[in-house]
Amino acid sequence: MKFSLCIGAYPGEDEVYHLEKVKALGFQGLEYYAWWQLDDLKRTARAQERIGVGIIATCTPFISLVDESLRGDYLDGIARTIEACKTLGTRSIISQTGNELEGVARDIQQRTMVETLKRAAPLLEAADIVLELEPLNGLVDHKGHYLQRSDEGAEIVDKVGSSHVKLVFDVYHQQITEGNVIRNATAYRHRINHYHIADNPGRHQPGTGELNYVNILKAIKETGFEGYVGLECGFTIDTDEAVEQFHEEVIARIG
């Protein structure tokens, strides 16, 4: 199991500053969501090589997956994101699904999504990059988002049928949406490429809310998971201090 920090952990600082902090704090990667906001991808790639850690996940442009009329735009965004990932050495692309369309049956929207992802899959497979669908909660943060439940996410992944289309399981979102976190985080392990963590309520660092991250991460680790867990949260104290606490109070106790 490896750990990543997310851009914004140090407000106002750029990706190079974050990469240097990732290295100094003993994490293994950075998540930078909007690659198109980077000034110079090659400059970032050089900084990664110098520092010794890199961007492990980014996003594709936020284009609806459930709107068939936007399929071409979505696939174009995937193609451009893959090229950016090649420059950066990034192996994962996070995708949201967009909001549910009014007046269109959910099963039709799901079929649209699956077909678009099937068309994206050969591009991802050729580049050996994994696309990660992210269920988001609709109660607090993303009202109307189409994909919210982990079981439906797993169903979509199975229908696409590609080893390069999986899920990112965000524990914060799934605690709000469905609870039952350990059971779902482990039951769908083979459809999950990556985890995000934050406490609830508040979406702050682990230890500030109701979630027992020692038990959650221990259960995930026991499945044999060797990928990334991203600390995607706000911080109620100094970021360096919060990460050190996370090392001491969580990582050191999961074995």
| Active-site residue, selected from the candidate residues 20, 232, 248, 249 | 232
Amino acid at the residue 38: L
Q: 1 with 229: CB under 8 angstroms?
A: yes
Q: 183-191 long-range contacts, Cβ below 8 Å, gap at least 24?
A: 184/150, 184/151, 185/150, 185/216, 185/219, 185/220, 186/219, 186/220, 186/222, 186/223, 188/150, 188/151, 188/153, 188/154, 189/220, 189/223, 189/225, 191/153, 191/154, 191/157, 191/158, 191/166, 191/167
Catalytic option among 15, 20, 132, 134: 134
DSSP 99: B
Is the peptide bond prior to 122 cis by the omega test (within 30 degrees of 0)?
A: no
Question: 150, 137, 135: which is closest to 186 by C-alpha?
Answer: 150
244 is known as an active-site residue: no
134 is a catalytic site residue: yes
Which residues are marked as active site?
134, 232
